[in-house]
Amino acid sequence: MEQLRLAVIAGDGIGPEVTTEARKAIRAAVDGVEVVETEYALGAAHYLESGEILEDATIDALRSHDAILLGAVGGDPSDPRLAGGIIERGLLLKLRFAFDHHVNLRPTKLHPKVQSPLREPGDIDFVVVREGTEGPYVGNGGAIRVGTPHEVANETSVNTAFGVERVVRFAFDLAEQRSKRVTLVHKTNVLVHAGGLWRRTVDAVAAEHPDVAVDYLHIDAATIFLVDRPSRFDVIVTDNLFGDIITDLAGAVGGGIGMAASGNLDPSGAHPSMFEPVHGSAPDIAGTGAADPTAAILSAALLLEHTGQAEAAERIRAAVDADVDARGDARRTTSEVGDAIAERIRASKEHA
């Protein structure tokens, strides 16, 4: 039987709880595939216990898997031992860079039964293709005279033709399978060098896709459209930092961050891709059963889609849709939601 070798990084806070439900969904959804799951104890708690954030040997071990399922990492934000994003950078960003996750894929789709904070949300159904290995995330910053009145702290955003072109191509290919509209989001009127590279790249790739409509929005204007008329978007392509910002906003207007899934992809397949909910570890609600596992479960669907299990992915999505449709006012725990979705997945397989 074919194997799907999964690495699971459950992480911190609500990470383990939502990952448990995502794993149930995967096991329920696959057909004729043996799912081999290997747990990796990583995250803030693991670091505080063991001193390890992410060893090279662990990266090598992760490399041997078909995909990585990640819950959430990050501890108490006020803990000085975790200051400066040491876990986020040393674990999450390190994996994205080590595994060349240059496409950070973040779909937003407002389910008709889910209430958006917007008065008139309209038909929200778009995907953000966020670059994942460049921009201000490269860690090329530094400071002098730290802690003195003469401190200077710089951060450099690095952007390459190689890095921009591949993600722009991905966005156009995706648009070809959707409503054939690509919006570039940047700040070309201020960040002229990076902006020029992005614009010229989009223009060049657009010329190869005459059937795809292309437009451009400054990042500030894009946030306005995301609340005033989010239905205008189909595929948004943007840099690492702008993508970080608008996908949280998109998650919020698209029915809440409890529904927002993401994939960190190396579409070349050279490295395992990594799938995670957009939300964080939410230490304040950890252990209470209040976490919504839907974003993690939808991330599992992305995982299956990108490891060649399109039908299994579709089963998960249909089950989530049905679960949302059937939602009443009663609060359900994390595992109640996960069990209900897994049950629907199994039922759909039997009736197929």
Would you name the residues annotated as active-site residues? 137, 187, 220, 244, 248
Determine if 142 is a binding residue for its own copies (CB under 8 A): yes
Residue 329 tokens read as: 């006012």
To the question of whether residue 153 is assigned a binding role by annotation, the answer is no
CB of 224: closest distance to its own copies in angstroms?
A: 4
Residue with Cβ nearer ligand IPM (30 or 164): 164
Determine if 88 is a binding residue for ligand IPM (CB under 6 A): yes
Residue with Cβ nearer ligand IPM (87 or 202): 87
To the question of whether residue 220 is assigned a binding role by annotation, the answer is yes
Count CB-CB contacts under 10 A for residue 318.
15
- Could you say which of 136, 255, 263, 272 contacts its own copies (CB under 8 A)? 136
Task: With contacts defined by CB under 6 A, name the span among 44-52, 86-94, 118-126, 338-346 that binds ligand IPM.
Answer: 86-94
| Distances in whole angstroms, Cα of residue 301 to Cα of each of 24, 174, 186, 227 | 12, 17, 29, 27
Determine if 296 is a binding residue for ligand IPM (CB under 6 A): no
Cα separation, 192 vs 93, in Å, equals 26
Determine if 112 is a binding residue for its own copies (CB under 8 A): no
Task: Give the three-class secondary structure for 56.
Answer: helix
Residue 180 tokens read as: 């054939």
- Per-residue interface string for the shown chain with ligand IPM, residues 99-128, x marking contact by CB under 6 A: ------------------------------
To the question of whether residue 252 is assigned a binding role by annotation, the answer is no
Determine if 192 is a binding residue for ligand IPM (CB under 6 A): no
Residue with Cβ nearer ligand IPM (203 or 220): 220
Burial annotation 141-174 (CB, 10 A radius, 16+ → b, else e): eeeeeeeeeeeeeeeebebeeebbbbbbbbbbeb
- Could you say which of 60, 64, 117, 203 contacts its own copies (CB under 8 A)? 117
Count CB-CB contacts under 10 A for residue 191.
19
Determine if 54 is a binding residue for ligand IPM (CB under 6 A): no
To the question of whether residue 284 is assigned a binding role by annotation, the answer is yes
To the question of whether residue 222 is assigned a binding role by annotation, the answer is no
Cα separation, 161 vs 248, in Å, equals 27
Determine if 15 is a binding residue for its own copies (CB under 8 A): no
Helix (H) or strand (E) holding 221: helix 219-228
CB of 103: closest distance to ligand IPM in angstroms?
A: 13
Closest C-alpha to 273, from 128, 126, 132, 75: 132
339 HSE (CA, 13 A, CB side)? 6
Which residues, 6 or more positions from 24, have their beta carbon under 8 angstroms from its beta carbon? 338, 339, 341, 342
Task: Give the three-class secondary structure for 37.
Answer: strand
Q: Would you tell me which residues interact with its own copies (CB under 8 A)? A: 77, 84-85, 88-89, 93, 115-120, 136-137, 141-143, 145-162, 165, 187-197, 200, 216, 219-221, 223-224, 226-228, 241, 244-249, 251-253, 257
- Per the annotation, binding residues are 96, 106, 130, 220, 244, 248, 280-292
- Per the annotation, binding residues for substrate are 96, 106, 130, 220
Q: Would you tell me which residues interact with ligand IPM (CB under 6 A)? A: 88, 92-93, 189-190, 220, 244
